[in-house]
Structure 1
Amino acid sequence: MSAAKTPETPETKARARRWSRVERFAVRMTFVAIGLPPVALGVAVLLHMNGDDSAFGVVWWVVGAAAVVLVAAAFLEIHAQGHLTEAKFAAGYLSAGMVDEVIEEPSEVLAPSTLTLMITAELPGRVRIRRRLDSSMYQAGPGARVGQTMIFRHNTLDPDDLGDVVFVRFTGMVQKRRRR
Structure 2
Amino acid sequence: MTKLFLIAFLLSIFALTACSEKVTVEDNDDAIGEEAIQMIMPQDGKAVHPKFGVEEWFAFGPMSGVGDTPANGVAQAYVFENGSYTLTMQLNIIPAADGTFYEAWLSGDESDDLVSAGHLANHFGDARHQLKFESEEDFRALLQVRVTLELDDGNPTPSTDLVAQGMLRPTQR
TM-score (norm 1): 0.29
TM-score (norm 2): 0.30
Decide which structure has greater strand share.
2
Decide which structure has greater helix share.
1
